[in-house]
Chains A and B, each alone.
Chain A
Amino acid sequence: MQSAFSLSFSQSSLTLPNRPLCSPNAAPRNLRFCGLRREAFGFSPPKQLNSCRFQVKNRRIESFDYDLVIIGAGVGGHGAALHAVEKGLKTAIIEGDVVGGTCVNRGCVPSKALLAVSGRMRELQNEHHMKSFGLQVSAAGYDRQGVADHASNLATKIRNNLTNSMKALGVDILTGFGSVLGPQKVKYGKDNVITAKDIIIATGSVPFVPKGIEVDGKTVITSDHALKLESVPDWIAIVGSGYIGLEFSDVYTALGSEVTFIEALDQLMPGFDPEISKLAQRVLINPRKIDYHTGVFASKITPAKDGRPVMIELIDAKTKEHKDTLEVDAALIATGRAPFTNGLGLENINVATQRGFIPVDERMRVIDGNGKLVPNLYCIGDANGKLMLAHAASAQGISVVEQVTGRDHVLNHLSIPAACFTHPEISMVGLTEPQAREKAEKEGFKVSIAKTSFKANTKALAENEGEGLAKMIYRPDNGEILGVHIFGLHAADLIHEASNAIALGTRIQDIKLAVHAHPTLSEVVDELFKAAKVESPASTTPQSVKAAV
């Protein structure tokens, strides 16, 4: 049984007899961080791996330039490349902009750096909170450039580590814009053409800016600009209340701005489980200097100029009539991300994009305009739109490499967790309660909910962070976990117990008695498992609900 996260070495037919160094006893290679391997931290693997590659070359059946070419050196491409090299494939990766792509340069990495600052800033400024510990903090302040530098330095460091890790492993990094010329043929840069047995498209996405919105990079910005933190406006309107908008609201309010959310749907935070988003609203929005307009579109946004502020015109989402005009100091467009698939030469292989996304099947194989699978062509990450998260891209990349090296693999997307790094954090895996109930009605099973509060957790109370909720949606008949949602301190780290269980198909009754250290926040998850009432008994031998192949 293969799970989405299995990174163990299995002897496959393509590997060679004399490869003792690529064994599980080697240094822990399976550490992953944001889709990056430990090589990303500058640890280079044993040199002997290079020799493996040379031997693989001699064994190739057809004479392609490379076994695998990946277009796009972001998180997805990088994950695929590293796994490919482990499996002995001669790999090249094409990058037209910067290595690391969105995650490292304009996404996960700098945003987490800024959120780390905002978290501390918020804590230090919360006099009531400090007093409850018996601490006194004199006026906490910040230097904007220093904060911005922290983010950009981190991005640079990770980018360099990524590049070095790939170079050290012998992945050829080809610079230039890549595109598909025909089956198994790729062009990059001006006119370099290479052939590859398999091609993975991993070109990612860019911030989506709806029409009518004029972005000037200074007063009307996207996340790309915001992460550079060139200024901290007094009042910023954030268009879109998904996790990107929410994280930025956390950063800006901690640094002293006031925020207004503009959300097209009727609820804020529409993607989350409703119970969690209600609590999140109570903690993350109501007590902060944030107000919001829901059910409206920003039909027109003009940047500030000639002494006038940024003007935002709001229209009702359904009737389209004018509702209000906002005058703010800045506007951040966080309405989602659009796939970056133009100029990829897809027409050469008869592939048509759907709203920009490349259609793929559950094995990431590209589907052409006639509904047929295009052989030897895969697409992973944001470009296919299945699950636009960094670690999903890298997991999809690994899945493709597994298939290409002879093992069938289908990634179970329901076992991939997601997190929002506000303070407190929000994380989730699997289905939301409404989705679970809908599935239950269709398939005819019952759904139960187990809930626990962080107020009952010793560690959370010791940190005076008792505000939080964890919720598990499960099947009481067989103990299958359908979804877990956590809102509270370190929620992003706590979710993995649940996501692992879902990935391996572990049933609640089989992990109920597992021991958790005390006092830790993980006991919150432990409480969830213990609070669940399952009818079928625990098994004496490890069993799974269904093999998550």
Chain B
Amino acid sequence: MAASSSFLSTASLSNPKSTISFASSVSPAPIPSLRRVVFCSPFSHRRVMTVRSKIREIFMPALSSTMTEGKIVSWIKTEGEKLAKGESVVVVESDKADMDVETFYDGYLAAIVVGEGETAPVGAAIGLLAETEAEIEEAKNKAASKPSSSAVVPSPPPATSSPAPAAAASDGPRKTVATPHAKKLAKQHKVDIGSVAGTGPFGRITASDVEAAAGIAPTVTPPPPPPSPAAAPAPTAKATTTSSPPLLPDASIVPFTAMQSAVSKNMIESLSVPTFRVGYPVNTDALDALYEKVKPKGVTMTALLAKAAGMALAQHPVVNASCKDGKSFSYNSNINVAVAVAINGGLITPVLQDADKLDLYLLSEKWKELVGKAKSKQLQPHEYNSGTFTLSNLGMFGVDRFDAILPPGQGAIMAVGASKPTVVADKDGFFSVKNKMLVNVTADHRIVYGADLAAFLQTFAKIVENPDSLTL
């Protein structure tokens, strides 16, 4: 994984387009130019040293550090097409965005191993690249012999249900008879079809038998419970086997998209971190006044709050740190404030890098750009996974306070509510009405202690209540 992410960082920073070059499983030829030379030289025999096996695997790139599998959106090139180095070959959907993947090598796309709409784990071969046309055939054979996943998103069959399993199961299958769909699912989920118990007519193995063996909940109305879901081999145990309550009659099941799966995974991971919460009421009269002044210049409340948080973090570095291995503080040199944005079908956190250093107007511009990219699913990995602190605002809905869940890899997340006119009493017993915003920070107690967090919040409140410093 480390190797591919290094490709990732160099490629994305140097490449102006949103493309990634995939790495090949074969080490690059030592002196590629030698192969182009035509003269017969005494050194020609040395060419044998250059890589002989000219069939390279194209594998699923890791488009983010959290990506474990990707879905092929579409193949830009088809089997047999010539590829030039740097050309986009396939579009892959990661948990965050759709990326064009380029080829590192010239050659021919000999075989497509994982087709459109199919998913493959990061690092798995998704296609084969042959250097010359002659090798396309060889590559195809190689592809055919690979245990490739040939099934696509299973579409639910119509109302006709399979007949009752009957006593066929007791008959004991003399040879494995499996339906076409069952075979495809078995390949996709890497289930050994021979070990699945068949409950279909005449003892045949049906799609639902394979799904049960793989531990996946079926995508349609639940089938009659299989007699013995035993014999499920180890690799399929990744799916959860907790029994879920039966579905209500009108329930519809919609599988997670890649982004939703990623959010779910992150949330579950966060359960292993010990967190605590501290709340603080912040007086926003001054901030609101400033906002009115700078709004015409394109500054948003998000930018104001992010800058305020950034400046406060500069004075309290431990809140900007994280605990990556459970036994050390990992202080970050930059203050990158990620802001949670709800987009259609999901949630993403574009990052405002160096929020403390950039001025307010620049920050706002950057923010607008990031939101645009987020909405069209074109965020680059470094634009969403480089956050050191997160800001989440639900004030626009009228929410007064809420608790955010700490994203993995960060030390703290700030949840901001709406700024509401509130009656306050001073020590002399006089009432006045002031705008109050309730801020609630969730932090990782392995590194951030109560006093640290409270002090941070005090600083934050001071900055917000004297906001002239924000415009510096």
Q: Which residues of B contact A15 (CB under 8 A)?
A: none
The answer, yes or no, to whether B106 is at the interface (CB within 8 Å) is no
Q: Are A256 and B202 in contact (CB under 8 A)?
A: no
The answer, yes or no, to whether B286 is at the interface (CB within 8 Å) is no
Q: Are A291 and B183 in contact (CB under 8 A)?
A: yes
The distance in angstroms between the C-alpha atoms of A325 and B179, with both chains bound, is 13
Q: Which residues of A contact B207 (CB under 8 A)?
A: 289
Chain A count of residues within 8 A CB distance of the other chain? 30
The distance in angstroms between the C-alpha atoms of A232 and B115, with both chains bound, is 30
Choice from B115, B157, B179 contacting A282 with Cβ under 8 Å? B115
The answer, yes or no, to whether B71 is at the interface (CB within 8 Å) is no
The distance in angstroms between the C-alpha atoms of A289 and B183, with both chains bound, is 9
Q: Given the known A-B contacts A287-B117, A327-B202, are A260 and B153 also in contact in the complex, defined by CB atoms under 8 Å?
A: no
The answer, yes or no, to whether B155 is at the interface (CB within 8 Å) is yes
Q: Given the known A-B contacts A258-B180, A327-B177, are A278 and B79 also in contact in the complex, defined by CB atoms under 8 Å?
A: yes
Q: Given the known A-B contacts A287-B152, A291-B184, are A258 and B179 also in contact in the complex, defined by CB atoms under 8 Å?
A: yes
A275 to chain B minimum Cβ distance, whole angstroms, is 9
Q: Looking at B150, B163, B179, which has the most chain A CB atoms within 10 Å of its CB?
A: B179
Q: Which residues of B contact A232 (CB under 8 A)?
A: 160
Q: Given the known A-B contacts A287-B117, A309-B201, A309-B202, are A256 and B158 also in contact in the complex, defined by CB atoms under 8 Å?
A: yes
Q: Which residues of B contact A287 (CB under 8 A)?
A: 115, 117, 152
Q: Which residues of B contact A325 (CB under 8 A)?
A: 175
The distance in angstroms between the C-alpha atoms of A291 and B185, with both chains bound, is 12
Q: Which residues of A contact B150 (CB under 8 A)?
A: 286
The answer, yes or no, to whether A308 is at the interface (CB within 8 Å) is yes
Q: Given the known A-B contacts A258-B179, A329-B201, are A289 and B184 also in contact in the complex, defined by CB atoms under 8 Å?
A: yes
Q: Are A289 and B179 in contact (CB under 8 A)?
A: yes
Q: Are B158 and A234 in contact (CB under 8 A)?
A: no
The distance in angstroms between the C-alpha atoms of A142 and B153, with both chains bound, is 23
The answer, yes or no, to whether B204 is at the interface (CB within 8 Å) is yes
Stretch at the interface among A120-128, A163-171, A360-368, A440-448: A120-128
Q: Are A291 and B180 in contact (CB under 8 A)?
A: yes
The distance in angstroms between the C-alpha atoms of A473 and B177, with both chains bound, is 44
The answer, yes or no, to whether B156 is at the interface (CB within 8 Å) is yes
Q: Mark B245-272, 1 if CB is under 8 A from A, else 0.
A: 0000000000000000000000000000
The answer, yes or no, to whether B162 is at the interface (CB within 8 Å) is yes
B380 to chain A minimum Cβ distance, whole angstroms, is 26
The answer, yes or no, to whether A146 is at the interface (CB within 8 Å) is no
Q: Are A286 and B152 in contact (CB under 8 A)?
A: yes
Q: Are A139 and B159 in contact (CB under 8 A)?
A: yes
Q: Which residues of B contact A329 (CB under 8 A)?
A: 201
A448 to chain B minimum Cβ distance, whole angstroms, is 17
The answer, yes or no, to whether A428 is at the interface (CB within 8 Å) is no
The answer, yes or no, to whether B401 is at the interface (CB within 8 Å) is no
Q: Given the known A-B contacts A286-B115, A308-B202, A309-B202, are A140 and B158 also in contact in the complex, defined by CB atoms under 8 Å?
A: yes
Q: Are A256 and B183 in contact (CB under 8 A)?
A: no
B176 to chain A minimum Cβ distance, whole angstroms, is 11
Q: Which residues of B contact A406 (CB under 8 A)?
A: none
Q: Which residues of A contact B155 (CB under 8 A)?
A: 125-127
The distance in angstroms between the C-alpha atoms of A126 and B117, with both chains bound, is 13
The answer, yes or no, to whether A141 is at the interface (CB within 8 Å) is yes
Choice from B158, B160, B202 contacting A125 with Cβ under 8 Å? B158
Q: Are B117 and A125 in contact (CB under 8 A)?
A: no
The answer, yes or no, to whether A4 is at the interface (CB within 8 Å) is no
Q: Which residues of A contact B160 (CB under 8 A)?
A: 232, 234, 255-256
Q: Given the known A-B contacts A139-B159, A234-B201, are A128 and B184 also in contact in the complex, defined by CB atoms under 8 Å?
A: no
The distance in angstroms between the C-alpha atoms of A142 and B162, with both chains bound, is 16
Q: B179-203: which have CB < 8 Å to A?
A: 179-181, 183-184, 200-202
Q: Which residues of B contact A141 (CB under 8 A)?
A: 158-159
Q: Mark A287-315, 1 if CB is under 8 A from B, else 0.
A: 10111000000000000000011000000
Q: Are A289 and B181 in contact (CB under 8 A)?
A: yes
Q: Are A235 and B158 in contact (CB under 8 A)?
A: no
The distance in angstroms between the C-alpha atoms of A125 and B157, with both chains bound, is 8
Q: Are B79 and A235 in contact (CB under 8 A)?
A: no
The distance in angstroms between the C-alpha atoms of A326 and B176, with both chains bound, is 10
The distance in angstroms between the C-alpha atoms of A278 and B367, with both chains bound, is 47
Choice from B156, B175, B180 contacting A260 with Cβ under 8 Å? B180
- B254's nearest neighbour on chain A, judged by CB, is A127
The answer, yes or no, to whether A227 is at the interface (CB within 8 Å) is no
Q: Are B158 and A255 in contact (CB under 8 A)?
A: yes
A487 to chain B minimum Cβ distance, whole angstroms, is 13
The answer, yes or no, to whether A259 is at the interface (CB within 8 Å) is yes
Q: B77-117: which have CB < 8 Å to A?
A: 79, 115, 117
Q: Are B179 and A142 in contact (CB under 8 A)?
A: no
Q: Given the known A-B contacts A286-B115, A309-B201, are A235 and B153 also in contact in the complex, defined by CB atoms under 8 Å?
A: no
Q: Which residues of B contact A125 (CB under 8 A)?
A: 155-156, 158
Q: Which residues of A contact B115 (CB under 8 A)?
A: 282, 286-287
- B160's nearest neighbour on chain A, judged by CB, is A256
- A307's nearest neighbour on chain B, judged by CB, is B202
Q: A134-148: which have CB < 8 Å to B?
A: 139-142
Q: Are A256 and B184 in contact (CB under 8 A)?
A: no
Q: Are B157 and A290 in contact (CB under 8 A)?
A: no
Q: Are B158 and A121 in contact (CB under 8 A)?
A: yes
- B74's nearest neighbour on chain A, judged by CB, is A455
The distance in angstroms between the C-alpha atoms of A286 and B116, with both chains bound, is 11
The distance in angstroms between the C-alpha atoms of A142 and B159, with both chains bound, is 8
Q: A487-544: which have CB < 8 Å to B?
A: none
A281 to chain B minimum Cβ distance, whole angstroms, is 11
Q: Which residues of B contact A255 (CB under 8 A)?
A: 158, 160
Q: Which residues of B contact A327 (CB under 8 A)?
A: 177, 202, 204
B286 to chain A minimum Cβ distance, whole angstroms, is 45
B404 to chain A minimum Cβ distance, whole angstroms, is 30
Q: Are A290 and B180 in contact (CB under 8 A)?
A: yes
Q: Which residues of A contact B159 (CB under 8 A)?
A: 139, 141
Q: Which residues of A contact B177 (CB under 8 A)?
A: 326-327
Q: Which residues of A contact B162 (CB under 8 A)?
A: 234
B251 to chain A minimum Cβ distance, whole angstroms, is 12
The distance in angstroms between the C-alpha atoms of A45 and B147, with both chains bound, is 64
Q: Are A259 and B201 in contact (CB under 8 A)?
A: no
Q: Which residues of B contact A308 (CB under 8 A)?
A: 202
- A282's nearest neighbour on chain B, judged by CB, is B115
Q: Which residues of B contact A289 (CB under 8 A)?
A: 157, 179-181, 184, 207
The distance in angstroms between the C-alpha atoms of A139 and B204, with both chains bound, is 27
The distance in angstroms between the C-alpha atoms of A232 and B184, with both chains bound, is 21
The distance in angstroms between the C-alpha atoms of A256 and B160, with both chains bound, is 7
- A122's nearest neighbour on chain B, judged by CB, is B155
Q: Which residues of A contact B200 (CB under 8 A)?
A: 234
- B175's nearest neighbour on chain A, judged by CB, is A325
Q: Which residues of B contact A139 (CB under 8 A)?
A: 158-159
Q: Which residues of B contact A309 (CB under 8 A)?
A: 201-202
The distance in angstroms between the C-alpha atoms of A286 and B79, with both chains bound, is 15
The distance in angstroms between the C-alpha atoms of A256 and B177, with both chains bound, is 19
Q: Looking at A128, A232, A256, A287, which has the most chain B CB atoms within 10 Å of its CB?
A: A287
- B204's nearest neighbour on chain A, judged by CB, is A327
Which 6 A-B residue pairs are closest in the complex by CB-CB distance? A291-B180, A289-B181, A141-B159, A287-B152, A256-B160, A258-B180
List the interface of chain B (C-beta within 8 A of A): 79, 115, 117, 150, 152-153, 155-160, 162-163, 175, 177, 179-181, 183-184, 200-202, 204, 207
Please give 18 more A-B residue pairs, beta carbons under 8 A apart, in addition to A140-B158, A308-B202: A121-B158, A125-B155, A235-B179, A255-B158, A256-B157, A258-B181, A282-B115, A286-B115, A286-B150, A286-B152, A287-B117, A287-B152, A289-B157, A289-B181, A291-B180, A291-B184, A327-B204, A329-B201
26 contacts between A and B (CB under 8 A): A125-B155, A125-B156, A126-B155, A127-B155, A128-B153, A141-B159, A234-B179, A234-B200, A235-B180, A255-B158, A255-B160, A256-B158, A258-B180, A258-B181, A259-B180, A278-B79, A287-B115, A287-B117, A289-B181, A290-B180, A291-B184, A308-B202, A325-B175, A326-B177, A327-B177, A327-B202
List the interface of chain A (C-beta within 8 A of B): 121, 125-128, 139-142, 232, 234-235, 255-256, 258-260, 278, 282, 286-287, 289-291, 308-309, 325-327, 329
